[in-house]
Amino acid sequence: MKSIKSRYKLSFLISLSIISILVIGFLFLEKKIYIESAAGVLFLIAVFQVFGLQYFFKNQLKNDVIKSNLEFRVDELKRNLDVAETVADQKSIYLANMSYEIRTPLNTVLGMLNMLKQSNLEADRLAEVEIAEYSSLHISQLVNMIADNAVVERGKFKLDLKAIDLKADLLKLLKVFEFQALEKGLDFDYKFLSENNDKFLMLADSAKIQQVLINLINNAIKFTNSGKINVTIDQTIGTDDSLFLTFYIKDTGVGMSTEEVKFLFNNKNDLSKSNLLRDYRGGGIGLSVSHQLVELMGGELKIESKENEGSTFYFSLQLKKTLNIKSDLVETKPIILNRLNVLVAEDNRTNQKVIKALLERHGADCTFVKNGLEAVELYKILDFDIIFMDIYMPDMDGYEATRLIKTTDKYAERNTPIIAVSASAFEEDIIKAKEAGIDDFLAKPIEVDKLKELLVSYSSIK
pLDDT digits (tens, 9 = 90+) for 135-162: 677 677 667 666 666 666 666 667 788 8
Give residue 386's pLDDT band: very low, low, confident or very high (50, 70, 90): very high
Residue 42 lies in a domain: yes
**Model pLDDT for residues 159-201, shown as the tens digit of each residue:** 788 888 888 888 878 888 888 888 888 999 998 887 555 566 8
pLDDT above 80 (res 320): yes
Q: Is there a single domain that holds both residue 366 and residue 399?
A: yes
pLDDT of residue 330: 40
Half-sphere exposure of 317 (CA within 13 A, CB side): 22
What average pLDDT does range 254-280 have in this prediction?
62
- What pLDDT, on the 0 to 100 scale, is given for residue 2? 52
pLDDT for 339 beyond 90:
no
Is residue 392 over pLDDT 80?
yes
| Cβ atoms < 10 Å from Cβ of 263 | 18
pLDDT of residue 175: 83
Average pLDDT over residues 85-102: 63
User: Which pLDDT does position 422 carry in this prediction?
Assistant: 82
Answer yes or no: do 409 and 355 share one domain.
yes
For residues 367 and 446, membership in a common domain is answered with yes
Of the three residues 325, 349, 373, the one that is the final residue of a domain is 325
What is the secondary structure of 8-77 as a DSSP string? Answer: HHHHHHHHHHHHHHHHHHHHHHTTSS-HHHHHHHHHHHHHHHHHHHHHHHHHHHHHHHHHHHHHHHHHHH
CA distance 5 to 335: 84
pLDDT at 1 over 70: no
Question: Are both 246 and 188 inside the same structural domain?
Answer: yes
- Confirm whether 128 is domain-assigned: no
User: 359 or 275: which carries more pLDDT confidence?
Assistant: 359
Same domain, 307 and 360: no
Q: Residue 441: which domain range?
A: 340-461
Does residue 425 belong to any structural domain of this protein?
A: yes
232 in the same domain as 267: yes
Given this model, what pLDDT does residue 249 score? 92
Please report whether residue 6 resides in a domain: yes
Cα–Cα distance, 111 to 358 (Å, whole number): 8
For residue 328, is pLDDT > 60? Answer: no
Q: Same domain, yes or no, for 259 and 299?
A: yes
Separation between Cα atoms, residue 10 and residue 13, nearest integer Å: 5
- Whether residue 84 is predicted with pLDDT greater than 80 in this model: the reply is no
Q: Which of 31, 49, 81 finishes a domain? A: 81
Q: What is the pLDDT of residue 8?
A: 62
Distances (CA, A) of 375 to 300, 347, 395: 49, 11, 11
Q: What is the pLDDT at residue 154?
A: 62
The domain that contains 288 carries what CATH number? 3.30.565.10
**Amino acid 411: pLDDT:** 93
> Are residue 184 and residue 315 in the same domain, yes or no?
yes
Answer yes or no: is 23 within a domain. yes
Beta strands in 99-179 (DSSP E): 162-164
Cα 159 to Cα 208: distance, rounded to the nearest angstrom: 8
The partner residues of 244 in beta bridges, in order of sequence, read: 236, 318
Residue 145 maps to a domain: no
Question: What pLDDT score does 211 carry?
Answer: 85
Nearest to 340 by CA among 380, 386, 297: 386
The reply to whether 309 and 224 lie within a common domain is yes
Does the residue 389 lie in any domain? yes
C-alpha distances out from residue 188 to 116, 192, 217, 306, 311, Å: 27, 14, 10, 20, 15
- For residue 420, which of 384, 446, 449 has the smallest C-alpha distance? 446
239 and 298 assigned to the same domain:
yes
- What CATH number has the domain bearing residue 425? 3.40.50.2300
Residue 393 counted as domain residue? yes
User: Residue 267: pLDDT above 70?
Assistant: no
What pLDDT is attached to residue 329? 39
Beta 302-306 vs 310-325: how paired, if at all?
antiparallel
Pair (184, 288) in one structural domain: yes
Mean pLDDT of the chain: 77
pLDDT at 375 over 70: yes
Looking at residue 271, what is its pLDDT? 47
Q: For the ranges 18-22, 263-267, 277-281, 286-290, which has the lowest average pLDDT?
A: 277-281
The pLDDT tens digits for 433-460 are 888 899 999 887 787 778 888 888 887 6
Domain count, the chain: 3
Residue at which a domain ends, from 268, 293, 325:
325
So what's the pLDDT on residue 90?
Answer: 62
Indicate whether 168 and 307 sit together in one domain.
yes
